[in-house]
Amino acid sequence: MIIQWYPGHMAKAKRVIGEQMKIIDVVIELRDARIPAASENPVLRELIQQKPRVLVLNKSDLADPFVSEAWKQQFATEGTECVLLDSKAKSSRQELTRRIMSAGRPILERWERRGLRARSLRTIILGIPNVGKSTLINTMARGYVAAIADRPGKTRGQQWVKIGKQLELMDTPGVLWPKFDDPQAARMLAATGAIVDEVFDAEEVVAGLLRHLAEHYPSALRQRYGEEIPTEEAAAMLLYIAQRRGCLLPGGTVDKEKARRIVLQDFRQGRFGRVSLESPEGWNEA
C-alpha cells in the first residue's frame, strides 16, 4: 500500500523546525510504543543532527509490555536509551524531566565552566502525527496548555510552554515523510491513526490488523468479538464481526465499511488490551 500524504503545513513545519533547532538544547523524539520502528520519521534524523536526544516510546499503556521491554533492550544494544511512557499519566512528568535534565547535563556543565548564567534548557518535542505530543505537554505543564485531538494534523503552529524553572518545551505539528514506500509500515501507521482515514485503503489495513490479532493475540480477538470467530481468513473474520455487531444495510446487506470502522476504533481505543504491531524479532504483519 503506497500512501501519498504530505499536507502543506507539514512541509512548512519541517522548515520552521530546522530554523528553531539552532536554539534547542535537547530533543525529545516521540514514537508510538506499538510501532517503534514504523513510527520513526527519517526526516527527523537530519533535523536533530548531533543534538542530545531523549527517545520516548509513548502510548506504552496500549502496547504489549513484553514486546515493549524487548524494544527497550534492542535500542540499548544500539546505544540508545529509551523511556516507556503513558503521556496521560502524571508519573510521566517526573520521569521525563529526569531524562531531559540528564541529557542536558553536559550543556549545563559547559555553561558553568564558561561562567555563563544558566538558563532553562530549551527542548522540542518531535514526532509523527497523533503520537501524543500535545497530551504529553499538558501533562508536563500540569494543565491544559496545548490543544489535543485524536485526528492527525491538529497542531499546526509552534508554541513555547514553561515547565518550572528548569525547562521550556516547544510543541510542534507532527511531521510525516513525503512518501510511504514500505507497505507494512504504511498499514501500521494507518491502523494507529497517524494518517487521516480518508487517504488509505481501510480494507487492506483492517485485513492486516485482523490477521495480526489472529496470529499474535487470538484470545483478545475472541474476548472482544466472540469465541466462535473464524481466525483463518480476514474476510471471514470481518463478516463475523459485521454480523455480530449488527452492521447491516437496508435489505440485509452486510455493511463491511462500518465493521472496519469498528475494528479500527476498537484497536485505537485499546479494547483488545495491550497490543503491539511490530517486534524487534520481526513480526509486523499488520
Check which CATH number belongs to the domain holding 231 and give it. Answer: 1.10.1580.10
Give me the pLDDT at residue 42, please: 81
Asked which of 24-38, 180-194, 234-248, 262-276 is least confident by mean pLDDT, the reply is: 180-194
* Residue listed under C-alpha cell 505537554: 137
**Number of separate domains in the chain:** 2
d(CA 106, CA 121): 11
Neighbours of 219 (CB within 10 A): 11
Same domain, 166 and 220: no
List the single range of 41-55, 165-179, 185-199 with lowest mean pLDDT.
165-179
Q: For residue 160, what are the domain limits?
A: 3-171
Residue 281: predicted pLDDT: 85
Three-class secondary structure of residue 53 per DSSP: strand
| End residue of a domain, out of 151, 171, 191 | 171
Other C-beta atoms closer than 10 Å to the C-beta of 203 total 14
Pair 37, 106 in one domain: yes
The answer to whether residues 208 and 167 belong to one domain is no
Q: Name the pLDDT band for 117 (thresholds 50, 70, 90).
A: confident
Co-location of 62 and 144 in the same domain: yes
- Predicted TM-score (pTM) above 0.95: no
138 and 221 co-located in one domain: no
Specify if 285 maps to a domain: no
| Residue 249 and residue 120 share a domain | no
Q: Is residue 237 part of a domain?
A: yes
Asked if residue 108 and residue 229 are part of one domain, the reply reads no
Q: What is the CA radius of gyration of the chain?
A: 20
Q: Is the pLDDT of residue 244 over 70?
A: yes
In a domain, 255, yes or no: yes
User: The C-alpha cell of 176 is what?
Assistant: 510525516
Specify the pLDDT at position 135: 85
Distance CA 142, CA 163 (A): 9
Band (142; pLDDT cuts 50, 70, 90): confident
Domain presence at residue 278:
no
Q: Sorting pLDDT into bands at 50, 70 and 90, what band is 280?
A: very high
Q: Are residues 88 and 143 in the same domain?
A: yes
Q: Which of 85-99, 218-232, 244-258 has the lowest mean pLDDT?
A: 85-99
Residue 250 lies in a domain: yes
Q: Is the pLDDT of residue 121 over 80?
A: yes
Is 51 inside a domain boundary? yes
Residue 178 lies in a domain: no
Cβ neighbours of 1 (radius 10 Å): 15
Examine the domain organization and report whether 28 and 162 are in the same domain. Answer: yes
Identify whether the C-beta of residue 273 lies closer than 8 Å to the C-beta of residue 206. no
Whole-Å CA distances, 155 to 148, 149, 163, 170: 8, 9, 19, 12
Q: Are residues 139 and 33 both part of a single domain?
A: yes
Is the pLDDT confidence value at 70 over 60? Answer: yes
